[in-house]
Amino acid sequence: MSALHLLASQLNELYQRACTIDSMRQPGKPQDWFESGLFSCHSPDLADYVADARRNLQRLTDNQPPLSAASQQRLAKHLAAQVDALTRAFSNQQTRSKFQRSIKINRVQTDKPVVSKAGTVDLYQQLSDFQQFERRLLDMIEQAERYSSDGNTNRVLALHARLGRCRKAISDVEQAILQHERQVP
């Protein structure tokens, strides 16, 4: 099986998973999944981004109208970056949804801290989730800076603000763990 056929089957599998994730999306403010430099679409649906990558793969395989070797190489690199971003998004999708749910709960309960009086195991799980989200934000910042443009500056600043809030939440959870462990004999 050629590399293009393998990539096509991988994108088909990602498309099926994207449709499943999109069907389970919670109502509320839709968010774009990726920065504008990598994908040509802006959608709250993950399947739209997979479809964009599939279009690029089709363009690469059809080669109509014919592309120069340099254009084919650029398109192949762009497609590889899209597939990489999609696979990371799928691997971090669970973390993203958990983080968004916790943010929604915290906004409703503004007088309560980010960390509840949960057991140590729950606190460590919450810490792990926030750390995964921090890594995802760092990846998003790296991608946004790689495809930097004048209109992308606000996106980078917004990502840095989210990263700051995420790190504050991590610090709060770490403090809660320390307090909880001091209280437990």
User: For 102, left (φ over 0), alpha (ψ -120 to 50), or beta?
Assistant: alpha
Kindly report, residue by residue over 2-15, the tens digit of the pLDDT. 777 777 888 888 88
Kindly report, residue by residue over 19-56, the tens digit of the pLDDT. 887 787 766 655 666 766 788 887 778 888 889 889 98
**Amino acid code (one letter) for 38:** L
Kindly report, residue by residue over 133-156, the tens digit of the pLDDT. 989 988 888 888 777 666 667 777
Report the C-alpha gap between 114 and 109 in whole angstroms: 9
**Amino acid code (one letter) for 33:** W
Sequence-distant (6+) residues with CB within 8 A of 54 are: 8, 11, 15
Average pLDDT score over the chain: 76
The pTM of this model reads: 0.51
- The region of weakest confidence among 41-45, 75-79, 108-112, 118-122 is 108-112
Predicted pLDDT at 118: 47
Kindly report, residue by residue over 70-102, the tens digit of the pLDDT. 888 888 888 888 887 887 777 766 555 555 555
Taking residue 165's Cβ as centre, other Cβ atoms within 10 Å add up to 12
What is the Cα 25 distance to its own chain's centre? Answer: 14
